[in-house]
Structure 1
Amino acid sequence: MLLGYARVSTNDQDLALQRRALREAGCRRVYAEKVSGARRDRPELERLLDQVREEDVVVVTRLDRLARSTRDLLNIAERLRDVDAGLRSLAEPWADTTSPAGRMVLTVFAGIAEFERALILSRTSAGREAAKQRGVRFGRPPSLTPDQVALGRRLVDEGTSVRAAARVLRCHHATLYRALGAAADVTGSG
């Protein structure tokens, strides 16, 4: 069965042209919504993807009506492939997973997207490493200053419980435990 999906971004826009094109293409049912493609929650798209069955084909007038990005398109195509359903775009004849050529093009897109993710990961990792070497600290700033940690250490060394010392420093006892442990690791006094 051919199932259509139509989407416009705003309430001012009209779905009539897309609905007509999808019906003329042979779609028995058309899922339509007026919602930005950038939104993750698109109820009609989710309903369509939940109801699509083996050998169904999801038809769109253009791919940008279906997906926000190549990654999004590949995720949707994978969900369809998982149930042995297809995807077809009326405006982009190469985007037809019911044909060997269309599957090949989508496979190439998937490979490019995976390569792009690997490049981004590599660049991000190299950037973080370079920043660390320059002394940039990542993560949340420490809850306690070095002076507060020193005071906490002195209190604990003098016999005050960590919980009581944490109350004096107005922090959670786990925070003080971590700070004391980190300070011990740095000084090597274990």
Structure 2
Amino acid sequence: MIDDRAFRPNTLGAIGKAGARFRSLGDAGADTTTAHGRLLLTFLGGIAEFERDSSAPSRAKAARAKARGVHMGRPPALTPHQRAEALRDLAKGNATQADIARQFKLSRSTISRLA
């Protein structure tokens, strides 16, 4: 397995190597000009790396499941027969999206995404 940490850019490290310092205007804690700011940024970077590394097995497991054809997420709101019926009614102009949404007790945006 390739260690993807080698591909992650370290923007603040590059700024520091260039001889400049970083100070966030929106967050007083993100400031490489002070020891406290450098400590805080180092701590936050460590937490971010931990989160990435600990979620990698979950992402790999989900990718394997998708490769096997496992459906991920919520079940569809309509059966294939209901979808075909709704699309047929829309195509014929027999009903509006709002009518079909009321018929199937769904939101109009669900029918809109279907169309």
TM normalised by structure 1 equals: 0.34
- Pairing partner for 1:137 from 71, 86, 97: 71
Q: Flag the structure with larger Rg.
A: 1
Q: Which has the higher contact order (CA 8 A, sep 6+)?
A: 1
Percent identity between the aligned chains?
A: 31
TM normalised by structure 2 equals: 0.53
- Pairing partner for 1:177 from 99, 112, 115: 112
* Whole-angstrom distance in 2 between the partners of 1:115 and 1:136: 29
Structure 2, unaligned stretches of length 5 or more? 1-28, 30-38
* Whole-angstrom distance in 1 between the partners of 2:107 and 2:114: 11
Tell me if the contact between 1:152 and 1:169 (Cα under 8 Å) persists in the aligned partners: no
- Structure 1 stretches of 4+ with a deviation exceeding 3 A read 113-116
**SS of residue paired to 2:51:** helix
How far off its partner does 1:155 sit?
A: 0.7
Structure whose residues are more often strand by fraction:
1
* Whole-angstrom distance in 1 between the partners of 2:82 and 2:56: 38
- Counterpart residue number, 2:6: none
* Whole-angstrom distance in 1 between the partners of 2:49 and 2:109: 42
Tell me if the contact between 1:162 and 1:173 (Cα under 8 Å) persists in the aligned partners: yes
- Counterpart residue number, 2:57: 123
Aligned residues: 74
Structure whose residues are more often helix by fraction:
2
Structure 1, unaligned stretches of length 5 or more? 1-81, 83-102, 181-190
Aligned positions of 1:152-171 closer than 5 A: 152-159=86-93, 160-171=95-106
- Counterpart residue number, 1:61: none
* Whole-angstrom distance in 2 between the partners of 1:162 and 1:117: 43
* Whole-angstrom distance in 1 between the partners of 2:62 and 2:98: 36
How far off its partner does 1:116 sit?
A: 3.7
